[in-house]
Amino acid sequence: MSSSDDGSTRGNGFHPAAPPAAQMDPVLLRREMVEWQLLKRGIRDERVVAAMLSVPRHEFVPAGLAGEAYSDRPLPIGHDQTISQPFMVAAMTEALQLSGSERVLEIGAGSGYQAAVLSLLAREVHTVESCSGSAMATCRCTSAMERSDGRTRLHLRPLWSPRQRPRFRRRSRRSSQTADV
C-alpha cells in the first residue's frame, strides 16, 4: 500500500484505504468510538448511532492513517482537506433530525464520510465537491453505497472539472480591457 502526497492511495486488493486485517478490528474500534466519543458526549438519536456503527470510517482516510481512523480528531485526507472527527459528524447529523424521507444536499463532499452516514438516514443524498481530486476519491469510497432495492442512495457530482472551471473576468480600472482570471 502506498500513499501519495495528496492523500490518494493505491489498493490493497480489498479497498484503497483499508489497512491489513491483522492490524485492527474495525468493528470493535467503531463500537468503542461510539461508546466513548458519541454516547458519553450526549449523542442520543438511535438511528445516528446505528449509522455511525455501520459506516467503516477507515475506508475514507488515506491508508497511512487507517489505524487512526476512529480516533477523536479530524484527519488529513489530502487536497488540503480533513475528515471531521466522529463526534462532529454525529452531532451535525443528529441536529438534522432526519426521519428517512428527506432529500439532503451536502456542499463539500470531502472524503464522503458524512455523505455515507447521511445516506443511511435520508431517502437520498446529493453532494457536490469543488476539488476534483477529492471528488474522485469520494467516488471510489462511496461507489458501493446502494440501497437493497438497487437504487443509488448517494449521488456525487463534482462542482466542476478543471476544464469546466468558471472563468471570471476582471475589468481593469485603468482601461475597459478585461482579462481572464
Among the listed residues 84, 161, 172, 175, the single catalytic one is 84
How many alpha carbons lie under 13 Å from residue 144 in its C-beta half-sphere?
7
Would residue 119 show up in a list of annotated catalytic residues for this protein?
no
Strand-strand pairing, 75-78 and 103-107: unpaired
Residue matched to cell numbers 483499508? 18
What would the grid cell of residue 49 be?
448511532
Q: E-assigned strands of the chain?
A: 75-78, 81-83, 103-107, 124-129, 154-158, 169-171, 178-180
Which of the residues are catalytic?
84
